Structure 1
Amino acid sequence: MLGSAERRRRHQPWADDVRARLRTVDLLPLRALIPPSGYVPDFLTPPPDGTGPRKIAEELGMVRATPSEHFVAEVSWMAADPGTPVTWRQEAAPLHRHMLAQPAQAIALITDLLQTYWDLALEPHWRRLHGGLQSDIRSRMQVIEGSGAAPVFSSLNPRIAWRDQELTVRSAYDYQEELGGRGIVLVPSVFCGPEVLTMTPPQQSMIVYPRTGVEEMWHRHTSDRPGPLAALLGGVRSAVLEALLVPASTGDLAEAVNVTPGAISQHVAVLRQCDLVTSRRHGRRVIHSLTETGETLVRGAVAPGAGRHSA
């Protein structure tokens, strides 16, 4: 996405910040594994395993542990994939040859670059990104609980269709697989749009689909004008509610909102009395999360068009 001016527009505030941070970082080896279109090596994206969220260190550990033979097979496949642009393959060919000749060193270098990219480009924005993704997952789980999985599949993206017990993804590749009860992982993504990405066996079957409302997400965090939630509740309390799209401790909230833990406790107490927040003790920490009313309020306030009216 960073390499395409057209796709960057949807994320311009983030892209401007990140491009400045990455100006002195040589990302060419990493870019050589991520073509503008076509196959991206699977080892870069370990699929969720159903045990809960993994820390970035665990994800990078899985990348670093990639067997050399898997690395060679996947990079070779990418380098020969007709779905990648010819000019890109030609430009990346010297790097590909070097990586294939020394796969262990290449895996170590790529993992280190991913760590650097995380530190500079994603970690500073992660609470905001993660909150939006968690909100997407929760809303789709509510649909599944009420109406089953079919409406969720049908609403993921126009490129995805569910009909007669068959899930179809419109793609440049021709592939068909009987899941046989193995299941499929659905992964919302802030940055993959407008494409829908897939992973197929022998890997865990996975569909990565674009999260909606990305432009509005960046806009509401860069606008100088207070949003409707801040106008209603005040800046700190609205920031607390938005931060709680991902459950957090008092200390986490204090760091995210940039106020003292004592002030957070006072604001959370008021929000709890209004049935917008619930709190529970987990070991020595108290974890706060939005109630259904609180989440409805936050998502309604930050939805596209919120706060705008006609005369």
Structure 2
Amino acid sequence: MPKKSCHVEWIFAPEDVARIRFAFSPIWELVTSLRALRDPARHSLHLPWVRAVRPRLAGVDLSELFALVPLHGYLVDFVTPTPETPMPDFAADLERVRRTSPERAAEEASWVVGSDPHLIERFTADPEAGVARVADTLEHYWETAFAEFWPRIYGLLEADVLRRSRQLAVGGARELFADLHPNVRWHGDRLRVTRPWDYSEPIGGDGLVLVPTAFYWPDTAVMVEPYQPMLLYPATGVGTLWASGPPPAPGALAALLGRTRAQILTALADPTTTSALARRMTLTPGAVSQHLTVLADGGLVTRRRLGREVVYRRTPMGDSLVCAS
């Protein structure tokens, strides 16, 4: 018999669409990177990161984390809470993990399949101590293997959020979800995500949070009650994440504008912010801002405020220069 297709389905009232928001989460990336660390062949996009951090982790005991975050299937939700704000903050995420109720943590640990049963039993026997251990290990793992790489990951996720926000503003929910992921479909007033289980409820409450991810690529994940509804989807451009440095500036364009400005103009293939460009270019935000001002005064880039951020994009003249070179 053919396998039954299962879906998580959220039903939207008209006002719920207005409550769709984007965020990204350092702790989601940290936790899901554990799978890349254990099975780099399946997560070959992240091999440069794995090679860089494995020697540092030789003396770090990650066994309890590996048990709670197995290679396949369910991983405990309490270590990956739905982001509360669009501005990611690892310390705030970690504090939410520390505040997890022991009862909730023990229940979720009991759902994990395919892990070391002794480690799961140890955790569920004293979940309060288990939550504290897990939080301490996550903090050590972050400091040892992840913190220095977060700005690069942040830049990728930020660029995806800017692009998707523009899609939502211009084309509404239908256009936004049309190419988010093959597992995601918008049907009238319903968003359906293919999952190995069934769920159907009104979205309600504070709306749906959309979270791009680099390390969960190429899959989707969802969070449902008692957590705020959340859909995790693969960020665009993950394949370029570990490419070293900014894109090369074509010689003719560099001769015309100077190498740094040519690199900045080339990097603006997708709209982005000064801070994201600064991280990618390994320059100070002040230096990038000065170059962007010159490019904007020359009609090659344009500015647009989006919330608290100013987003830059190439003008048609800027596109022509990059393409011609």
TM bucket (normalised to shorter chain) is 0.7 to 0.9
TM-score, length-scaled by structure 1: 0.76
Which residue of structure 2 lines up, in the alignment, with residue 62 of structure 1? 96
- One of 205, 217, 227 as aligned partner of 2:241: 217
- The SS at the match of 1:218 is coil
Matches within 5 A, 1:1-311: 1-49=36-84, 51-78=85-112, 84=113, 88-89=114-115, 92-180=116-204, 182-219=206-243, 221=244, 227-229=247-249, 231=251, 232-233=253-254, 236-237=260-261, 245-248=272-275, 253=278, 267-274=291-298, 276=301, 289-293=310-314
The alpha-carbon deviation at position 54 of structure 1 amounts to 3.8
Deviations 1:113-160 (A, max 9, x none): 111222233221222211111111111111111111111122110111
TM-score, length-scaled by structure 2: 0.73
- Would the alpha carbon gap of residues 297 and 130 (structure 1) be closer, same or farther in structure 2, given more than 3 Å must change? farther
Instruction: Calculate the aligned-residue CA RMSD, in Å.
Output: 3.5
Tell me, in whole angstroms, the C-alpha distance in 1 between the residues paired with 2:309 and 2:88.
Answer: 20
- Asked whether the equivalents of residues 216 and 234 of structure 2 are also in contact (C-alpha less than 8 Å), the reply is yes
Which residue of structure 1 lines up, in the alignment, with residue 4 of structure 2? none
Tell me, in whole angstroms, the C-alpha distance in 1 between the residues paired with 2:199 and 2:219.
Answer: 17
Tell me, in whole angstroms, the C-alpha distance in 1 between the residues paired with 2:117 and 2:219.
Answer: 25
The alpha-carbon deviation at position 170 of structure 1 amounts to 1.2
- Would the alpha carbon gap of residues 44 and 235 (structure 1) be closer, same or farther in structure 2, given more than 3 Å must change? farther
The runs of 4+ residues in structure 1 deviating greater than 6 Å are none
- The SS at the match of 1:74 is helix
Structure 2 unmatched runs, 5+: 1-35
- The SS at the match of 2:117 is helix
What is the one-letter code of the residue matched to 1:18?
Answer: V
The alpha-carbon deviation at position 228 of structure 1 amounts to 3.9
Tell me, in whole angstroms, the C-alpha distance in 2 between the residues paired with 1:272 and 1:207.
Answer: 36
- The SS at the match of 1:161 is strand
- The SS at the match of 1:212 is coil
Tell me, in whole angstroms, the C-alpha distance in 1 between the residues paired with 2:285 and 2:192.
Answer: 49
Q: Count how many residue pairs are aligned between Structure 1 and Structure 2.
A: 278
Structure 1 unmatched runs, 5+: 79-83, 281-286
Identity %: 34
The alpha-carbon deviation at position 190 of structure 1 amounts to 0.3
The alpha-carbon deviation at position 235 of structure 1 amounts to 5.1
What is the one-letter code of the residue matched to 1:35?
Answer: P
The alpha-carbon deviation at position 260 of structure 1 amounts to 7.2
- The SS at the match of 1:6 is coil
What is the one-letter code of the residue matched to 1:100?
Answer: T
Tell me, in whole angstroms, the C-alpha distance in 1 between the residues paired with 2:264 and 2:58.
Answer: 33
The alpha-carbon deviation at position 229 of structure 1 amounts to 3.7
What is the one-letter code of the residue matched to 1:210?
Answer: P
What is the one-letter code of the residue matched to 2:109?
Answer: V
- Asked whether the equivalents of residues 161 and 169 of structure 1 are also in contact (C-alpha less than 8 Å), the reply is yes
Tell me, in whole angstroms, the C-alpha distance in 2 between the residues paired with 1:264 and 1:279.
Answer: 16
Higher relative contact order at CA 8 Å, sep ≥6: structure 1 or structure 2?
Answer: 2
